[in-house]
Structure 1
Amino acid sequence: MAHPFARARYALAAHTPAQLPPDGGYEVAFAGRSNAGKSSALNALCQQNALARVSKTPGRTQQLIYFDLTPPETAPARYLVDLPGYGYAKVPQELQAHWQGFIDGYFRHRAALKGLVVVMDIRHPLKDYDRQMLGYAVARGLPAHALLTKADKLGRGQQAQQLQAVRRELAAAFGDTVSVQAFSGESKQGVDELRAVVAGWLGL
């Protein structure tokens, strides 16, 4: 039987709160700095090559992109939500302000949101934006998962060291509310672990 994630398909792109789907069901959001490997992680998770477009220009995703993976025979709706790649400098100030407000409201009030995956390059983890996104989830009492991508760029020993360092830092900042793993969309390392976390939050 195909894994539920293999069913994922593009549903909609929301640029304003009014464009979001009805606030019921289950959503898991994916956030990450530009070029952290978020699109590759979503594609690997869903066993699809081009579900989330891997953009050559950082920060191209300037909407909340919804991917629907609701099982045919069941309600409520279940979505993966691709948040705009943050850390883009070329966006005008007023658009940044719009985004900040939209994302802030989404995290504060979206009842359907069940968890957050923050994608970061294992070689450059826990930048200010990463902490800010994790902080949003923790403030809401939502589970969060730090996905350390591009693990194939490091040897096993270095991976283990980075994992330990990030785990320690997250525990100091957020207690035990944030889980962490190493991942590679390239080698598919950690895909099953990520799938288990997200499926649990989505009730799949």
Structure 2
Amino acid sequence: MQLQKVIFVDSVFSLAQLPEGDLPEIAFAGRSNVGKSSLLNCLLQRRNLVKVSARPGKTQSLNFYLVGEELHLVDLPGYGYAKVDKKLQAKWQELITAYLETRPNLRCVVLIIDLRHALKDLDRMLAGWLQSQAIPWLPVYTKMDKLSRNEQHRQARLLDAALGIAPADRLLFSAKTGEGREQLLARLDTFLTPR
């Protein structure tokens, strides 16, 4: 993955606005305020390419970023934030579901989960739905820098058990320290090899 040239392409509010072409896409999903934007900025080694906000519900569209000329990274709206209008939440959900179900370019969904907390029902539901739809997904447990090594291992085991996965099926990540970045890039590359 060539990260030297990364540009914001578009904010998509309907399927009709999706970029044309057959570049592979990797989508990033997670609860509101789970650290999605920070993870993307760290991954791309850009400080403010992806807007970071302390206010949950800031991302309200599918935001496409072109990496080199080889792929799109797609920042999906966060889910699970109760203070966003229910109609808007439903609209986001409809757009996200339609995108995930119908986009032939989609290679993987990176499911971002806060390592500090027990698995939330919405995370479990999304993981189960991705599996039922045979959509490749990669769990990434963020904010590992907030915990000691022992706490990291304990929490990761609990999340693994709740998701029904093995440690080799997920990654730990810290946007603050960059730990896990190289491993994540390597794993994403495996989804980009021609099928």
Say yes or no: TM over 0.5: yes
What is the match of residue 191 of structure 1? 181
Q: How does 1:119-198 map to 2 (within 5 A)?
A: 119-171=112-164, 179-198=169-188
Q: Is the 8 A contact 2:34 2:142 kept in 1?
A: yes
Structure 1 residue matching 2:72: 3-state secondary structure: strand
In structure 2, what residue type is equivalent to 1:193? Q
Q: How does 1:105-116 map to 2 (within 5 A)?
A: 105-116=98-109
Q: Is the 8 A contact 2:118 2:158 kept in 1?
A: no
Q: 2:30 aligned to 18, 29, 32, which one?
A: 32
What is the match of residue 74 of structure 1? none
Q: Counterparts of 2:34 and 2:92 in 1: how far apart (Å)?
A: 19
Deviations 1:133-159 (A, max 9, x none): 222321221221111111011111111
1:168 deviates by: 2.2
In structure 2, what residue type is equivalent to 1:112? N
Q: How many residues align?
A: 193
Q: Counterparts of 2:74 and 2:192 in 1: how far apart (Å)?
A: 12
Q: Is the 8 A contact 1:144 1:179 kept in 2?
A: no
The TM-score, its normalising length taken from structure 2, stands at 0.91
Q: Counterparts of 1:139 and 1:45 in 2: how far apart (Å)?
A: 28
How has the CA–CA distance of structure 1 residues 117 and 125 changed in structure 2, closer, same or farther, with 3 Å as cutoff? farther
Q: Is the 8 A contact 2:34 2:114 kept in 1?
A: yes
- Answer with 183-192 or 95-104: which moved more: 95-104
Q: Counterparts of 2:162 and 2:97 in 1: how far apart (Å)?
A: 24
- Answer with 127-136 or 183-192: which moved more: 127-136
Q: Counterparts of 2:56 and 2:110 in 1: how far apart (Å)?
A: 19
Q: Counterparts of 2:110 and 2:85 in 1: how far apart (Å)?
A: 26
Provide structure 2 residue ranges, at least 5 long, that are not aligned to the other structure: none
The TM-score, its normalising length taken from structure 1, stands at 0.87
Provide structure 1 residue ranges, at least 5 long, that are not aligned to the other structure: 72-76
Structure 2 residue matching 1:187: 3-state secondary structure: coil
Deviations 1:33-59 (A, max 9, x none): 111111111011111111111112111
Moved over 6 A (4+): none
